[in-house]
Amino acid sequence: MSETNKLGGRRALITGASRGIGAAIALAFADEGCDIAFCHLGDGEKAAEVKRAIEDRGRTSFVADCDVSDEVAVPVMVAGARKALGGIDILVNNAGHSAEKSFEDLSVKDWDRMIAVHLRGTFLASRACYGAMCKRGWGRIINIASQHALKGTLGKVHYCAANAGIIGLTKALAREGAPSGVLVNAVAPGPVETDLLGGLSDEWRAAKLAELPLGRFAGPEEIAPTAVMLASEGGAYYVGQTLSPNGGDIMA
């Protein structure tokens, strides 16, 4: 546990935080003194574990089952989080899923669901939180994208497009929000050992490992510190940026 208290007194909402990167961010934020609300989709057992872990750290926690692409459900979830925590200072749009499919085999249904979860979900949650942040004159929105948005990859056209959209949204909203004290940035990780990666083929995994200078995939806990920095005063001069902890797969 951290003793720096970088987020003491802050309240965060994290989407898709019952496991993987979202759960790692939730626990890292809690370690830094932040109260946590989060959502999941049909993952109640894992969500309960994360909630207990947050509360074991002495922080208030709220959890909801919510499809982030549902324009009715998202404002209800946000209102519940706001009531439980007393407000939302930090939003982390993390909910997402991944799938490997060639472009020729990609259906409209595949495309629409990927865009709905990643891009529409980021829009809906941001819209539900943004106004109150502007009125208060302080807020942080951190959008979790993917390095695939920056370089493209075989078999994931819909995933790359959805995450590229998130980065575009990040830049545009950052310009609108900064004058009101709302800083919007993105994190675009490289390959991380989560359930999303586990659903990909052995061939894909082997090819990706061969490309990485570090020769390994990240753990979720290696991505969380970037989100902590952006949420804290250490990130006060980051506006519309995309930070990519990726093991050297992309070198900017």
* Residue 118's CATH number: 3.40.50.720
In this prediction, residue 123 has a pLDDT band, given cuts at 50, 70 and 90, of very high
**Domain contains 249:** no
Q: Are 34 and 140 in contact (CB under 8 A)?
A: no
In this prediction, residue 24 has a pLDDT band, given cuts at 50, 70 and 90, of very high
Average of per-residue pLDDT across 40-55 = 98
How buried is residue 138: exposed, middle or buried, by Cβ count under 10 Å (0-12/13-18/19+)? middle
**Domain contains 185:** yes
pLDDT higher than threshold 70 for residue 62: yes
pLDDT higher than threshold 80 for residue 200: no
Total tally of structural domains belonging to the chain: 1
For residues 71 and 195, the model is more confident at: 71
Tens digits of residue pLDDT in 156-169: 999 999 999 999 99
**Domain contains 2:** no
For the chain, report the end-to-end CA distance as a whole number of angstroms.
32
**Domain contains 3:** no
In this prediction, residue 154 has a pLDDT band, given cuts at 50, 70 and 90, of confident
Q: Are 124 and 45 in contact (CB under 8 A)?
A: no
The confidence score (pLDDT) of residue 211 equals: 87
Catalytic annotation on 159? yes
**Domain contains 1:** no
**Domain contains 165:** yes
Q: What span, in angstroms and rounded, lies between the C-alpha atoms of 128 and 139?
A: 13
The confidence score (pLDDT) of residue 3 equals: 64
The active-site residue, picked from 130, 159, 237, 238, is: 159
For residues 136 and 209, the model is more confident at: 136
φ/ψ of 41, rounded to 5, equals: -130, 100
Domain region containing 91: 11-243
**Domain contains 234:** yes
**Domain contains 252:** no
